[in-house]
Structure 1
Amino acid sequence: MRGLSKDSFTVADWIVFSGILTISACIGVYYALAGGKQKTTKEFLMGNRSLKMVPVAISILVSFLSAILILGAPAEMYTKGTQYYLYVFGQMAAAALAAFLFVPLFYPLKLTSMYEYIEVRFKSRAVRLTATVINILSSLIYTGIASFAPATALEAVTGFPEWASFLLIGVVCTFYTFMGGLKAVVWVDAFQAIIMFGSLLTIATKGKLE
């Protein structure tokens, strides 16, 4: 781009970037000091079952809006064509199954996780541990890919090293999750949703005007 170096972030850009991470960390601190102060498993893992529908729905939505979707989906459709849209039907079917089958099954049982249900259902702790390990490995692989995309984009724009992005974002996410539990995770997701959708709207508007 004409007139821009690789390290094209201005002071204002760095302030915004730092502010997003700081606010995310502060949300974790707030919930570590408010309410039940994360002293019980129910409070830490389940938000004391007091979270409202809208922030939870936004949190679930944002969980699927990683850099893989924001950066990868447009590139996939641009280079390979629009057949990619067919995955939407699978997502719709999954959402319907979750709403009408899994949630009515799990919610009344007041369990902490689906792994607890697996142990109760099959009366085997080994099955529960196997499912847990498989999910941990799957999550590690997904998280690595999802973190690599924004780290690469940030390095391309600012020259900020990829390893530093991994470390910084990982530390902040771990911090607010550790301090504030599920409540912090949900409200950080809601905050980040505002940033994400606001940014996408700004880019679309600027592109349209130019």
Structure 2
Amino acid sequence: MTRTFDVYDWIVFVGILLVSVGIGIYHALAGGGQKTTGEFLMGNRKMSMIPTALSILVSFQSAILILGAPAEVYTKGTQYYLYTFGQMFAVLLASVVYVPLFYPLKLTSMYEYLELRFNSRAAKLTGTFINIISTLIYSGITSFAPSTALQAMTGFPEWASFVTIGIVCTLYTCLGGLKAVIWVDAFQFLIMMSGILVIIVKGVLEVGGFGEMWKINQEWNRVNFWK
């Protein structure tokens, strides 16, 4: 049965969008606005650690993961957790090898490094073009996934989701630059993690507690850590 938005749903939905836009407006006006390229693109390299870390974390928490990971665990079992070891190794490798290389160079993007490394503007343009195509495809999928889920659960049209997401994201990014993006991501982190926690707690309570939940998953061969 398809639900539709009631008054409280609309209040939460619109409120989240307004807060996101409000963050963009604030950073567009605070401290004289985003007047320089360094301030707009890099936040003057003075952003604090916690919101920056939350922003990076949220960047990996797209709809693909939020919708895909539960489906993968439901169909294949808990062995999915092994991928986290690969992620941890990648983060460690980036921290030890790549960050010490890139950060002292004070570059705006990795494409500048391609030009410096190979002394070739063509290398820079090629890398930029490949990433633009890749990002467009990825962004389309990450926008389509929540739009489809929202339509299935509430009847909210997919095209309306696309338009709303595009306008709001473009607006706060253009207004507030990287500072707005980081703080909006931090705000969205709180929303997403709260929602995930509520779903987990309610789901466990609905089936009769953690022990019953574990028992059901064992009976359905969902608990398989090593095979």
TM bin, normalised by shorter chain, reads over 0.9
Q: CA contact under 8 A between 1:31 and 1:183: conserved in structure 2? A: yes
Confirm whether residue 79 of structure 1 aligns to residue 79 of structure 2: no
Task: Return the alpha-carbon distance in structure 2 between the equivalents of residues 7 and 74 of structure 1.
Answer: 22
Q: CA deviation at 1:87?
A: 2.1
Backbone CA RMSD of aligned residues: 1.2
Structure 2 gap ranges (5+) = 207-227
Task: Return the alpha-carbon distance in structure 2 between the equivalents of residues 197 and 16 of structure 1.
Answer: 16
Q: CA deviation at 1:94?
A: 1.2
1:29 corresponds to which residue?
25
Confirm whether residue 143 of structure 1 aligns to residue 139 of structure 2: yes
SS in 1 for 2:107: coil
**Aligned AA (2:118):** F
**Aligned AA (1:176):** Y
- Counterpart of 2:14 (choices 4, 14, 18) is 18
- Counterpart of 2:119 (choices 118, 123, 146) is 123
**Aligned AA (2:174):** F
**Aligned AA (2:51):** P
SS in 1 for 2:3: coil
1:88 corresponds to which residue?
84
Task: Return the alpha-carbon distance in structure 2 between the equivalents of residues 24 and 45 of structure 1.
Answer: 18
Q: CA contact under 8 A between 1:6 and 1:157: conserved in structure 2? A: yes
Q: CA contact under 8 A between 2:4 and 2:156: conserved in structure 1? A: no
Q: CA deviation at 1:36?
A: 4.4
2:35 corresponds to which residue?
39
Q: CA contact under 8 A between 1:115 and 1:128: conserved in structure 2? A: yes
Q: TM-score, normalised by structure 1?
A: 0.94
Confirm whether residue 177 of structure 1 aligns to residue 190 of structure 2: no
SS in 1 for 2:31: coil
Confirm whether residue 155 of structure 1 aligns to residue 151 of structure 2: yes
Task: Return the alpha-carbon distance in structure 2 between the equivalents of residues 13 and 164 of structure 1.
Answer: 16
Q: CA deviation at 1:85?
A: 2.6
Which of these two proteins has the greater Rg computed from alpha carbons?
2
Task: Return the alpha-carbon distance in structure 1 between the equivalents of residues 110 and 200 of structure 2.
Answer: 39
Task: Return the alpha-carbon distance in structure 2 between the equivalents of residues 18 and 131 of structure 1.
Answer: 38
Task: Return the alpha-carbon distance in structure 1 between the equivalents of residues 32 and 95 of structure 2.
Answer: 29
**Aligned AA (1:107):** Y
Q: CA contact under 8 A between 1:77 and 1:84: conserved in structure 2? A: yes
Confirm whether residue 99 of structure 1 aligns to residue 103 of structure 2: no
Confirm whether residue 66 of structure 1 aligns to residue 62 of structure 2: yes
Q: CA deviation at 1:203?
A: 1.4
Larger displacement relative to structure 2 (149-158 or 180-189):
149-158
**Aligned AA (1:150):** P
Task: Return the alpha-carbon distance in structure 1 between the equivalents of residues 138 and 205 of structure 2.
Answer: 36
Q: CA contact under 8 A between 1:36 and 1:43: conserved in structure 2? A: no
Structure 1 gap ranges (5+) = none
Task: Return the alpha-carbon distance in structure 1 between the equivalents of residues 205 and 51 of structure 2.
Answer: 32
SS in 1 for 2:4: coil
Q: CA contact under 8 A between 1:9 and 1:157: conserved in structure 2? A: no
SS in 2 for 1:34: helix
Q: CA deviation at 1:201?
A: 1.2
Map Cα deviations across residues 20-54 of structure 1 (whole Å, 9 max, x no partner): 01100110111011124111100000001110011
